[in-house]
């Protein structure tokens, strides 16, 4: 790469940065692998939750065991904003590459550790406590992962290809979830219940060790991003620390936009990929295995479309692509859910597939749109705060809130109405956001 010697606050086209295409590919792979690992764990934990409940929690009540397991899972969401507050400013101060190496180590260690924890029968109450600690380590590291990975790709990508290259981050998400869920499904089919309960459940978690080592190797081989290098060069050796006030209160309008965009992105994401399998089973009495396979099929469809939608956002802009998703969820959530409620495999697949394709409008464009909201100096920190606060308050709570709303109102169409409300909020955010496709990142020189 050839960074300019000096980058002014208003980028000068004559001081454009040229990035080595091979380096860009390595950056995308390294960032996407971390996201894949996070969601590999998500898929494994979700699909093997019943077994984990029996291993770590002593209650003879299967429902209580499952709730306890998901309670430990949900605890990770509580510490995500704390991780964002720590890793985000650190990434703006010491560099994206260094912090992403640390989050990779922590994520891999947390997941690997779960596979080593003795059962409740062996060490008693220490077992669920160790599980909780491992989940907290995972959640804390995740707080710095997505914002850092999307920032890393955005700051490496040429301005005219940022959408396409950024879309591979969520491609990694989908691939990780499918790999984790698929592995558990295969193991469940091949192993007896006793083998799965005694030792088989450990295998998916132990795989995180080699995956983390590969990811760490890829990340350590990378140089710092051109945008961060230029920002550091501008400040020379007297680079001051970014104060919390500048990172949050100085960006409060943009942070609100970020929260709104992340809200519609994650509410629809968690609704479709996390809640709908439970909805099919609990509300429609649909076979659980078939419901999970439908979701995996939808995710495979999304993977195919994802890079093309990212490239489309480079041509027509992020705002039209994200707006299309908001309008689509507003108009089609009710018809899609009515299709799903018909109960036949074809109707369920059609309804879920429609929602999945609408979700691609967000998964393809957001990794490029969100980092472009903030200037280089505070990008990692501000995006970490906005993203994780929104995910913790709105995204991760979606299954719980929708279940409670159905229980309180008796209205089984509540998932559709919830997605529609999120689409309205997302639409307002899109209305106020500035188009970033094909343009330099704020505070950074043009990049090609």
Domain annotation for the chain: domains and CATH numbers? 17-239 (1.20.1250.20), 242-434 (1.20.1250.20)
Per-residue pLDDT at 81 exceeds 80:
yes
What CA–CA distance (Å, rounded) separates 189 from 30? 32
Partners of residue 18 on adjacent β-strands: 2
pLDDT at 321: 97
Give the pLDDT mean for 223-229. Answer: 82
Q: What is the DSSP string of 195-262?
A: HIIIIITHHHHHTHHHHHHHHHHHHHTPPPPHHHHHHHHHHGGG-----HHHHTGGGHHHHHHHHHHH
Q: What is the pLDDT of residues 86-104, one digit of tens each?
A: 998 888 888 888 898 898 8
pLDDT at 168: 95
pLDDT at 351: 95
The CA-to-CA distance between both ends of the chain, in Å, stands at 10
Closest of 316, 164, 254, 230 to residue 11, by C-alpha? 230
What CA–CA distance (Å, rounded) separates 11 from 5? 13
* Residue 339, number of CB atoms within 10 A of its CB: 21
Q: Residue 324, Cα to own-chain centre: how many angstroms? A: 21
58-62, 310-314, 335-339: least confidently modelled range:
58-62
Q: How many residues does the chain have?
A: 448
Host H or E run for residue 69: helix 62-94
What CA–CA distance (Å, rounded) separates 358 from 313? 14
pLDDT mean across residues, the chain: 85
What CA–CA distance (Å, rounded) separates 361 from 349? 19
pLDDT > 90: percent of the chain: 33
pLDDT at 59: 67
Per-residue pLDDT at 15 exceeds 70:
no
pLDDT at 5: 36
Asked if 153 and 31 count as a contact pair (C-beta separation under 8 A), the reply is: yes
Per-residue pLDDT at 67 exceeds 80:
no
pLDDT at 290: 75
Token pair listed for 45: 């934990």
pLDDT at 129: 87
pLDDT band for position 177 (50/70/90)? confident
What CA–CA distance (Å, rounded) separates 325 from 264? 9
108-112, 171-175, 223-227, 301-305: least confidently modelled range:
223-227
What CA–CA distance (Å, rounded) separates 430 from 93? 30
Q: What is the pLDDT of residues 367-423, one digit of tens each?
A: 999 999 998 888 998 999 999 999 888 887 788 788 888 888 889 899 999 999 999
pLDDT at 23: 83
* Residue 245, number of CB atoms within 10 A of its CB: 9
Phi, psi of 248 (to 5 degrees): -110, -65
Token pair listed for 154: 């955005």
Phi, psi of 150 (to 5 degrees): -70, -40
Q: SS3 for 447?
A: strand
Asked if 155 and 114 count as a contact pair (C-beta separation under 8 A), the reply is: no
């Amino acid at each position: 790469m050839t960074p300019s010697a000096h980058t002014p606050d208003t980028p000068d086209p004559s001081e454009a940065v040229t990035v080595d295409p091979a380096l860009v590919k390595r950056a995308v792979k390294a960032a996407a692998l971390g996201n894949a690992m996070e969601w590999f764990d998500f898929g494994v934990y979700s699909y093997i939750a019943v077994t984990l409940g029996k291993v770590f929690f002593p209650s003879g009540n299967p429902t209580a065991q499952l709730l306890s397991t998901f309670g430990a899972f949900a605890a990770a969401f509580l510490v995500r904003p704390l991780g964002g507050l720590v890793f985000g400013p650190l990434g703006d101060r010491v560099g994206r590459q260094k912090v992403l190496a640390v989050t990779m180590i922590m994520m891999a260690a947390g997941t690997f550790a779960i596979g080593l924890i003795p059962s409740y029968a062996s060490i008693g109450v220490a077992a669920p406590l160790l599980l909780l600690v491992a989940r907290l380590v995972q959640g804390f590291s995740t707080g710095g992962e997505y914002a850092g990975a999307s920032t890393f790709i955005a700051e490496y990508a040429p301005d005219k290809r940022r959408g396409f290259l950024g879309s591979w981050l969520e491609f990694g998400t989908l691939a990780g979830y499918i790999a984790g869920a698929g592995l558990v499904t295969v193991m469940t089919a091949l192993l007896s219940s006793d083998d799965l309960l005694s030792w088989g459940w450990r295998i998916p978690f132990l795989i995180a060790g080699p995956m983390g080592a590969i990811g760490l190797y890829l990340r350590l081989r990378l140089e710092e991003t051109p945008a961060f290098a230029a920002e550091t060069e501008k400040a020379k050796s007297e680079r001051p620390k970014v104060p919390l006030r500048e990172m949050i209160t100085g960006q409060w309008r943009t942070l609100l936009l970020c929260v709104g965009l992340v809200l519609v992105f994650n509410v629809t994401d968690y609704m479709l990929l996390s809640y709908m399998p439970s909805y099919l089973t609990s509300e429609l009495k649909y076979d659980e295995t078939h419901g999970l396979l439908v979701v995996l099929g939808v995710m495979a469809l999304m993977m195919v479309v994802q890079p093309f939608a990212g490239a489309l956002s480079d041509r027509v802009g992020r705002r039209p692509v994200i707006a299309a998703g908001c309008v689509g969820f507003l108009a089609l959530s009710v018809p899609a859910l009515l299709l799903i409620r018909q109960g036949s495999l074809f109707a369920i697949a059609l309804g879920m597939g429609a929602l999945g394709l609408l979700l691609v409008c967000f998964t393809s464009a957001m990794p490029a749109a969100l980092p472009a909201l903030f200037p280089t100096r505070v990008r990692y920190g501000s995006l970490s705060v906005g993203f994780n606060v929104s995910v913790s308050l709105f995204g991760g709570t979606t299954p719980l809130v929708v279940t409670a709303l159905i229980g309180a109102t008796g209205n089984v169409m509540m998932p559709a109405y919830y997605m529609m409300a999120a689409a309205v909020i997302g639409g307002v955010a899109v209305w106020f956001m500035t188009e970033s496709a094909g343009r330099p990142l704020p505070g950074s020189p043009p990049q090609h």
